[in-house]
């Protein structure tokens, strides 16, 4: 049988010329223009190895998996979606390894999910609900955050906790209730750590907007409590995702010049568990952990925020899968505070499910999802908080649109996340 390497030598030049003729890059889906989108059922290690050869040759790109292609630990099959050069897709289809979805992956995702857009707010300063009807670009999201803080009449305060690799501000919104002082209940919320998870950044903007309004309208709501929200942890990656590569996961650290895929995974870069398990040392890997714990300025900014005052609880919002997970992620050993996680987290879980009737898995992260070290909620737990991860919409079976859900999910997911966070605030005193 002709190998993918042999096929690549014969066809890559012609295929590259064909794609180049389609015109200049126009958005983050442009690298997928002219590529065939297909679903694969991978059921053996031989097939995993064969597909990794395809990825190495640049013939196909994973667009659904959390990071790299692996079989589940129980040996069952895995289903992934890939965008392939036409010659590679034809080979996969002839061999019976794939089911075609579209002849143009870029066009498919533009239609099904869409691109980031700007938004014009009302001249009156009213925050229009239409904001959540579509994906918004980085500048528009942060402008909405600023507008929400301005509309809070002093109930919310905007601050900067650091700068990104490329020098963008990492901003925090603080809501401090009457009588609060360090050592009293404190909730920290982070969003859009992974660039491609746009739905989490939209949920962050929504949380800022609604919580700021609540704090303004009811001065007693946060009495004796503080909430610190970081609506955009990875601004550089988000910007890159909008215009260059929609599926960018990491920050924009340039590692070893051009030899590696850009970036460090910010959710593998913190804490004493750094580098222990599920965090790659290879700089090209999607889960590259960085050269050392807290090597990245974004991680350092979060560390600074976390250490401002003791934290009661911390929630890091990701997508996708519809799960509420708690520490530990790096080990399957039970957390000493498991009963507290179950009690407190159970109230958050119930509120999330109640909003729109969607099922949300709940449990310890390593056992419920997978093992990973250097993750942000584990570090928050090491500092004394109850550290949780949200994996919001879409649900786990929608691999094809996992990181690029339809825009109809934006508001629904923001509402589910917000209701969970309201429960987290309401029950802070019980921790």
pLDDT in tens, 103-140: 999 999 999 999 999 999 888 889 999 999 999 999 99
User: Where exactly are the structural domains of the chain?
Assistant: 4-112, 129-430
State the pLDDT at residue 95: 79
- Do 59 and 11 form a contact (C-beta atoms < 8 A)? no
Per DSSP, the three-state class of 96 is coil
pLDDT tens for 5-57 read: 444 433 443 344 344 444 567 899 999 999 999 998 888 888 888 877 777 77
409, HSE (Cβ side, Cα atoms, 13 Å): 24
Distance CA 179, CA 18 (A): 65
- Do 369 and 363 form a contact (C-beta atoms < 8 A)? no
Could you give the dihedral angle defined by the CA atoms of residues 214, 219, 224 and 225, in that order, rounded to the nearest 10 degrees?
Answer: 20
SS3 sequence of 363-430: EEHHHHCCCCCCCHHHHHHHCCCEEEEEEEEEECCCHHHCCCCCCCHHHHHHHHHHHHHHHHHHCHHH
Distance CA 302, CA 296 (A): 10
- Do 321 and 190 form a contact (C-beta atoms < 8 A)? no
Which phi-psi region, left, alpha or beta, contains residue 290 (left: φ > 0; alpha: ψ -120 to 50)? Answer: left
State the pLDDT at residue 418: 98
Cβ neighbourhood burial of 160 (10 Å; 0-12, 13-18, 19+): exposed
Distance CA 117, CA 371 (A): 35
Question: Residues with catalytic annotation?
Answer: 391
Could you tell me the maximum CA-CA distance found in the chain, to the nearest angstrom?
73
Report the alpha-carbon angle 265-234-204, nearest 5. Answer: 120
The pairing of beta strand 226-230 with beta strand 78-84: unpaired
- Do 42 and 77 form a contact (C-beta atoms < 8 A)? yes
CATH code, 129-430: 3.40.630.10
Residue stretches of the chain with pLDDT short of 70: 1-24, 67, 73-74, 257-259, 397-398
State the pLDDT at residue 23: 52
What contacts 397, CB < 8 A, 6 or more positions away?
Answer: none
Which phi-psi region, left, alpha or beta, contains residue 23 (left: φ > 0; alpha: ψ -120 to 50)? Answer: left
Q: Which fold has domain 4-112?
A: Alpha-Beta Plaits (3.30.70)
State the pLDDT at residue 50: 80
Cβ neighbourhood burial of 4 (10 Å; 0-12, 13-18, 19+): buried
What contacts 276, CB < 8 A, 6 or more positions away?
Answer: 330, 331, 373, 374
Given 3-state DSSP classes, what are the helix, strand and coil percentages for the chain, each rounded to the nearest 5? 40, 20, 45
Which phi-psi region, left, alpha or beta, contains residue 224 (left: φ > 0; alpha: ψ -120 to 50)? Answer: left
What contacts 72, CB < 8 A, 6 or more positions away?
Answer: 78
Name the phi and psi angles at 357, rounded to 5: 75, 15
- Do 212 and 151 form a contact (C-beta atoms < 8 A)? yes
Distance CA 226, CA 97 (A): 53
**Predicted TM-score of the model (pTM):** 0.93
Distance CA 4, CA 12 (A): 11
State the pLDDT at residue 77: 80
Q: How many CB atoms lie within 10 A of CB 321?
A: 21
**Two tokens, residue 259:** 């030899």
What contacts 399, CB < 8 A, 6 or more positions away?
Answer: 39, 64, 65, 79, 80, 81
Token pair 């807290």 is at which residue? 294
């Amino acid at each position: 049988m002709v190998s993918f390497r042999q096929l690549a030598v014969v066809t890559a030049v012609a295929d590259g010329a064909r794609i180049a003729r389609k015109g200049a890059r126009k958005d983050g889906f442009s690298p997928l223009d002219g590529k065939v989108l297909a679903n694969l059922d991978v059921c053996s290690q031989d097939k995993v190895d064969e597909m990794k050869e395809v990825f190495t040759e640049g013939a196909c790109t994973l667009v659904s998996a959390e990071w790299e292609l692996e079989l589940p630990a129980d040996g069952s099959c895995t289903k992934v979606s890939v965008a392939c050069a036409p010659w590679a897709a034809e080979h996969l289809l002839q061999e019976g390894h794939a089911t075609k979805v579209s002849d143009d992956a870029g066009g498919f995702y533009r239609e099904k999910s869409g691109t980031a857009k700007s938004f014009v707010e009302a001249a009156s300063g009213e925050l229009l609900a239409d904001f959540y009807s579509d994906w918004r670009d980085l500048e528009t999201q942060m402008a909405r955050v600023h507008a929400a803080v301005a509309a809070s009449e002093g109930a919310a305060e905007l601050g900067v906790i650091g700068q990104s690799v490329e020098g963008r501000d990492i901003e925090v919104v603080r809501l401090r209730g009457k009588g609060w002082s360090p050592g009293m209940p404190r909730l920290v919320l982070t969003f859009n750590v992974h660039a491609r998870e746009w739905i989490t950044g939209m949920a962050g903007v929504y949380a800022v907007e609604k919580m700021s309004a609540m704090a303004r309208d009811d001065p007693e709501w946060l009495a004796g409590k503080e909430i610190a929200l970081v609506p955009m942890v990875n601004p550089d990656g988000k910007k890159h995702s909008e215009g260059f590569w929609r599926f960018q996961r990491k920050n924009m650290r340039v590692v070893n010049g051009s030899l590696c895929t850009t970036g460090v995974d910010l959710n593998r870069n913190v804490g004493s568990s750094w580098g222990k398990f599920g965090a790659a040392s290879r700089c090209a890997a999607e889960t590259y952990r960085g050269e050392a714990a807290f090597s990245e300025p974004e991680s350092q900014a979060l560390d600074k925020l976390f250490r401002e005052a003791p934290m009661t609880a911390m929630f890091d919002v990701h997508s996708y899968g519809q799960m509420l997970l708690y520490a530990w992620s790096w080990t399957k050993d039970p957390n000493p505070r498991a009963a507290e996680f179950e009690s407190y987290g159970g109230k958050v879980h119930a509120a999330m499910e109640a909003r729109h009737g969607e099922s949300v898995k709940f449990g310890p992260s390593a056992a419920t999802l997978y093992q990973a070290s250097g993750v942000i909620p584990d570090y928050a737990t090491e500092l004394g908080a109850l550290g949780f991860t949200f994996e919001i919409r879409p649900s786990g079976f929608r691999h094809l649109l996992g990181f690029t859900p339809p825009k109809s999910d934006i508001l629904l997911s923001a509402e589910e996340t917000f209701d969970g966070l309201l429960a987290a605030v309401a029950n802070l005193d019980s921790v």
